[in-house]
Chains A and B, each alone.
Chain A
Amino acid sequence: MATGKRQRIVVVGHGMVGHRFAQAAVERGLTETHDVLVIGEEPRAAYDRVALTSWFGAGSDALSLLPGGEYDDPRVRLVLDSVVTEVDRAARTVTVVSPPSAAEDLLANPGAVTVHEYDVLVLATGAAPFVPPVEGRGKDGCFVYRTIEDLEAIQAASATATSGVVIGGGLLGLEAANALVQLGLQTHVVEMAPRLMPVQLDDAAGVTLVRHVERLGVTVHTGVVTEEIVGGSSVSGLRMRQAGTEEGAPTGVVDAQVVVFSAGIRPRDALARECDLPVAPRGGVLVDEQCRTADPHVFAIGECAAPGGTMYGLVAPGYAMAEVVVDALLDGPGTFTGADMSTKLKLLGVDVASFGDAFATTDGALELTYADAVTGVYKKLVVSEDGTRLLGGILVGDASAYGILRPMVSSGLALPANPEQLILPVGSGAGVQIGMPDEAQVCSCNDVTKADILHAVSEQGCETVADVKQCTRAGSTCGSCVATVKNIIEDHFASVGKVVDKGLCEHFRLTRQELFDVVAVHGYRRFDDIVAAHGTGRGCDVCKPAIASILASQTSTHILEPATAELQDTNDKYLGNIQRNGTYSVVPRIPGGEITPDKLIVIGEVARDYGLYTKITGGQRIDLFGARMEQLPAIWRRLVDAGFESGHAYGKSLRTVKSCVGSTWCRFGVQDSVGLAIALELRYRGLRSPHKLKGGVSGCARECAEARGKDFGVIATEKGWNLYVGGNGGATPAHARLLAGDLDTATLVSYLDRFLMYYVRTADRLQRTSTWIEQLEGGLDRVREVVVDDSLGLGAELEAEMARHVGGYEDEWRATLEDPTKLERFVTFVNAPDTPDPSIAFTTERDQIQPIAPALIPVGAPA
């Protein structure tokens, strides 16, 4: 677009699509030339509305699409809790009202009104639930289902309610019903059409779905209209009559203290209407194929837009529109020409999918159906008259075929000779292998094709679903394509003859997890037994430390016992971190970063007496560098005598639990973060794990301890603690995500015990918690099921294992100092114990020692 002066883009609405627009603007370089101002009405940054119902279990943080609340690119500015009230197209300005935070403050602060100029305006205002004009709809206890605030209100009202009604039996209505069931209400669904999900399902599928839904205790009323919502100022029930009967016909009443309207959505196109931009007859800002409105400076995307007169109530078309506008602003050729309205979801635990021409409206289309009333499975394929092409279909109860079927529709792939095989249950001789064409779209939310995935695998080095997710975004929104993505990756590797060998190394074909189980089951204690039974050769620097770590996790015996000493990595072998010149670092544990002046003095004295280089670490402790191997015992003797213990800085084990000063000193603190951090660090110290582990505890939401940058992070709330998992810094930083909120300390500890042990048991070697969670099927939800809901019934076992670890802990350095045989290894030369290694030398820099690089010997020549 224009050159020279920076252009200003104003985006109205920070929902899913507005966020995608901002993200794409950053990623595709639009912000090199444009400043982006995003104005959002909701009090929080964009979140995953598609997964709204999971808010009840996971909380707001887990849904956030922008956890930090701001973009990394400073040229994108986000203003929340503010409404655009007017667009002046002639002046190219928008008026923004930022309301006061609470009603009582209204007089003091009536809200700020600001006016912003734009060169480009992007409307991304989404849609609003449609509330039909039923009498009584304004009573207390009536809700809609669109935002986190709606859910908070529903949750609050449900605390005193016993039953609830959802008006509308479509996709969103069933989501809402699911929520009411979860909240413990006797739940009814009222639908005017003769079946549930009338837009996606045919009668037979609707009947099948009703059976599933009723099995969960939901009462379904189809073919009825709501006459009135009854009650005083609050709802007490809902009166309805048969659809198609006259007014005055007999009615029935269901009791309800909560009513949720879910009778469709309407595009939020008011801003456009008020500034005289054309809208579609059924609502939605009219836009062309580039999503441009009648005004070339104004675009509309997402649910508020109606490209070619049609609005799309799904997120994928909205994402596509966002990309198209970014492309247009970069002078690209992208267009939006309609979208695949296929849906696959799990409603109340039931798989439901509908795709393509589900109602066989194409001339001459044929239907093939398979139904099993006992298991509640209904599948229908719509095929072309000549039987060669798949046009669409419906799946209820088992939607596993969706991954292959839907791409067949969009790509026009020829059907196999007996297409019914595609929907017959596996085991009935079916299970035809269908090659999916490269151009088939696999992830409809993010428009990722099979070719994109293959490219990521063959050209970009992706090997796992998690890699592909990162590279292509496939599977990162609704997740329904993850299984297909996995198959594509596996098929690809199989086809190129590459075995994605998850085995540890040439000596073991087993993964770390398999090895962990084998060791546990057989009770092995020695490498020799394990390699004899399950491996080949004599091991290497990969499998030996991995087995040492597994044995340490399972037995709590000292790592330098004869059976395991030679399996340890060098760092573990000498209980110190080896440095570039062969010396070691010494890091005593300082739990939670709290230390007395006396102990601080001891560290200083030891460092001074041994001439060690001293540096404060990021984990709130002190590193002493430059200790020769033979000096380690003497140095540690002094530290242990002064009450220090090993800090395990050398191990793949718990490093530190960092803390802020918390409520004991900080005027904002709401809990004693230091106390908890110390308790946690002492509980998990010495725990050998697949990779190093770090923790953090902050005393309030200001998060001064940066706990969410840790494998486990705890943040104090007024009511207790929020537990976050899967964070790390380093080359690929990850923000920890909420596992559970408002926990008391005992529950927090039990969840942490389970989480850490589950990780220790099942992660791959050198896999941090973040990648481990990513690659688990089900991701964080899976972790939550196992840890919080105890779905595998493993909770007690994991806690018992942790209790064994805690009970069996001993300070590795103290135990080493007490055992002369363990001390024997700490000599540089067996035949000259008093001679220091002549290759180690230091200079002085900024008043401390620094290693001099040992002279490299000429390669290939004997010394």
Chain B
Amino acid sequence: MSTVAVSLTPVCAVEAVPLEGGVAALVDGSAVAVFRTFDGSLFALSNVDPFSGASVLSRGIVGSRGDAPVVSSPMYKQAFDLRTGACLDDAAVRVASYGVTVVDGVVHVGSARPAGEVA
């Protein structure tokens, strides 16, 4: 992927994303979860929990597993790597991850990244 974002959707002010928490946003009709970790880094994953199908990942608890920043699904508690969307409890499962940048204090979400590319 090129670093030039194809389309960037403005979502909200950085402060609107709670530290070690998340919010959900509509990006091109898809629900995307935006997270902010303790050090201020921003990540975006699909908001849909693949195990339940419910659009809820933004409501999960943000923390760490080993070195990976993770969110755990509020539904059945599987952890997802915020950098890649990989499920750390089931190697076969991954949710889409999105590019995310801040422009003038506003969080912008890009398009979904192919598997394997790290933020």
Interface residues of A (CB under 8 A from B): 506-507, 528, 537-541, 543-545, 565-567, 569-570, 573-574, 578, 580-582, 824-825, 828-832, 835, 837-840, 853-857, 859-863
Q: Measured between C-beta atoms, what is the minimum distance from A565 to chain B in Å?
A: 7
**When the two chains form their complex, are residues A839 and B63 in contact, meaning their CB atoms are under 8 A apart?**
no
Residue B100 interfacial (CB < 8 Å):
no
With A540-B64, A540-B79, A830-B12 known, 16 other A-B pairs at CB within 8 A are A537-B65, A538-B69, A540-B61, A541-B61, A829-B25, A830-B16, A830-B24, A832-B26, A838-B31, A839-B54, A854-B53, A859-B50, A860-B94, A862-B46, A862-B114, A862-B115
Given A540-B64, A863-B46: A565 and B18 interface contact (C-beta under 8 Å): yes
Residues 15-55 of chain B: 1 if any A CB is under 8 Å from the residue's CB, otherwise 0?
A: 01011110111100011001001100000001010101111
Task: Let me know if B53 and A856 touch, CB within 8 A.
Answer: yes
Which of B21, B24, B38, B93 has a CB less than 8 Å from the CB of A828?
A: B24
Q: Which of A540, A543, A824, A854 is in CB contact (< 8 Å) with B55?
A: A854
Residue contacts A-B, CB under 8 angstroms, 23 given: A537-B64, A539-B64, A565-B21, A566-B19, A566-B61, A570-B56, A573-B59, A578-B74, A582-B54, A828-B24, A829-B31, A830-B23, A830-B24, A838-B31, A839-B48, A854-B52, A854-B53, A855-B53, A856-B50, A856-B53, A859-B94, A862-B46, A863-B48
Q: How far is the CB of B111 from chain A (nearest CB, A)?
A: 9
Interface pair B63/A539, CB less than 8 Å apart: yes
Contacts of B61 in A (CB 8 A): 539-541, 544-545, 566-567, 569-570
B60 interfacial contact with A, CB 8 Å? yes
B69 contacts A566, C-beta separation under 8 Å: no
B64 contacts across to A, CB distance below 8 A: 507, 537-540
Least distance between A167 CB and chain B CB atoms (Å)? 65
Contact B65 A860 (CB under 8 A): no
Set B72, B77, B115: member contacting A860, Cβ < 8 A:
B115
| CB-CB nearest in chain A for B85 | A862
Do A578 and B65 touch across chains, with their CB atoms under 8 A apart? no
Q: Is B75 an interface residue (CB 8 A)?
A: yes
The 10 lowest CB-CB distance pairs between A and B, nearest first, are A570-B74, A854-B53, A862-B96, A582-B54, A538-B64, A541-B72, A539-B63, A862-B112, A537-B64, A566-B21
Q: Which residue of B is nearest A839, CB measured?
A: B55
Q: Given the complex of chains A and B, what is the CA–CA distance between A862 and B28 in angstroms?
A: 14
A863's contact among B66, B69, B112, by CB below 8 Å, is which? B112
Closest to A566 in B: B21
**Complex CA distance for A578 and B57, rounded to whole angstroms:** 12
Are A859 and B92 interface neighbours, CB within 8 A?
yes
Q: How far is the CA of A832 from the CA of B31 in the complex (A)?
A: 11
A544 near B74 with CB under 8 A, answer: no
The docked-state distance in angstroms from the alpha carbon of A856 to that of B93 is 12
Indicate if the CB atoms of B11 and A830 lie closer than 8 Å.
Answer: yes
Residues of A within 8 A of B48 (CB): 839, 854, 857, 863
Could you tell me the distance between the alpha carbons of A565 and B17 in the complex, rounded to whole angstroms?
13
When distances are taken between beta carbons in the complex, the residues of chain A under 8 Å from B65 are 506, 537, 540
Most A C-beta atoms less than 10 A away, residue of B34, B50, B93, B94: B50
Kindly identify which residue among B56, B69, B93, B112 contacts A859, using a CB–CB cutoff of 8 Å. Answer: B93
CA distance A538 to B38 in the complex (A): 8
Contact yes or no, B59 A831, CB < 8 A: no
Which residue of chain B is the closest to A536 with respect to CB atoms? B64
A567 to B19, CA, bound (A): 11
Chain A: CB-nearest residue to B39: A538
Interface size on B, residues (CB 8 A): 49
A528 CA to B39 CA in the complex, in Å? Answer: 12
A582 touches B56 (CB 8 A): yes
A855 cross-chain contacts in B, Cβ below 8 A: 53
- Of residues 60 through 119 on chain B, the ones whose CB sits less than 8 Å from some CB of chain A are 60-66, 69-70, 72, 74-75, 77, 79, 92-94, 96, 112-115
A578 contact set on B, CB distance < 8 A = 56, 59, 74-75
Smallest Cβ distance from A576 to chain B, in angstroms? Answer: 11
Q: Determine if B60 and A570 form an interchain contact, defined as CB atoms under 8 angstroms apart.
A: yes
Distance A541 CA – B61 CA, assembled complex (angstroms): 6
CA distance A860 to B10 in the complex (A): 26
Known: A580-B52, A831-B12, A837-B55. A860 touches B63 (CB 8 A): no
CB pair B69–A860 under 8 Å, yes or no, is no
User: With A and B bound together, what is the CA distance between A574 and B23 in angstroms?
Assistant: 13
Q: Closest A residue to B23 by CB, please name it.
A: A830
Q: Which residues of A are found within 8 Å of B46, using beta-carbon distances? A: 857, 862-863
> CB-CB < 8 A to B52: which residues of A?
580, 582, 854
Cα(A857)–Cα(B65), bound, Å: 25
User: Bound state CA distance, A545 and B72, in angstroms?
Assistant: 12
In the complex the two chains form, what is the Cα distance from A578 to B52 in whole Å?
12
Provide the bound-state CA to CA distance between A538 and B46, in Å: 22
- Residues of chain A within 8 A of B113, CB atoms compared: 862
A585 to chain B, nearest CB (A): 14
Give Cα A183–Cα B26 distance, bound, in whole angstroms: 75
Enumerate chain B residues within 8 angstroms of A835, measured Cβ to Cβ: 26
A544 and B30 contacting across the interface, CB-CB below 8 Å: no
B53 near A829: Cβ-Cβ < 8 Å: no
Distance A832 CA – B32 CA, assembled complex (angstroms)? 12
Q: Is the CB of A857 within 8 A of B53?
A: yes
CA distance A555 to B10 in the complex (A): 39
* Distance in angstroms between the alpha carbons of A121 and B19 in the assembled complex: 73
Whether A839 lies near B21 (C-beta < 8 A) is no
**What A residues does B63 contact at CB under 8 A?**
507, 537-541, 543-544
**In the complex, what distance in Å separates the CA atom of A828 from the CA atom of B68?**
27
Residues on B with C-beta less than 8 A from A545 are: 61
Contact present for A860 and B92 (CB under 8 Å): yes
A569–chain B nearest beta-carbon distance, Å? 7
A829 to B9, CA, bound (A): 13
Q: Tell which of B10, B26, B54, B93 touches A829, judged by Cβ atoms closer than 8 Å.
A: B26
* Chain A residues closer than 8 Å to B74, beta-carbon distance: 569-570, 578
A831–B21 touching, CB < 8 Å: no
Q: In the complex, are the beta carbons of B25 and A540 less than 8 A apart?
A: no
Q: Which residues on B sit within 8 Å (CB–CB) of A832? A: 25-26
CA separation between A863 and B98, bound complex, in Å? 11
With a cutoff of 8 Å between Cβ atoms, the chain B residues found around residue A544 in the complex are 61, 63
Complex-state Cα separation, A566 to B38, whole angstroms = 11
Tell whether, in the assembled complex, residue B112 and residue A854 are in contact, meaning their CB atoms are under 8 Å apart.
no
Residues in A with CB closer than 8 Å to B23 are: 830
Q: How distant is B20 from chain A, measured CB to nearest CB, in Å?
A: 5
- Closest-by-CB residue of A relative to B112 is A862
A578 to B76, CA, bound (A): 11
Q: How far is the CB of B31 from chain A (nearest CB, A)?
A: 7
Residues of A within 8 A of B62 (CB): 538, 566
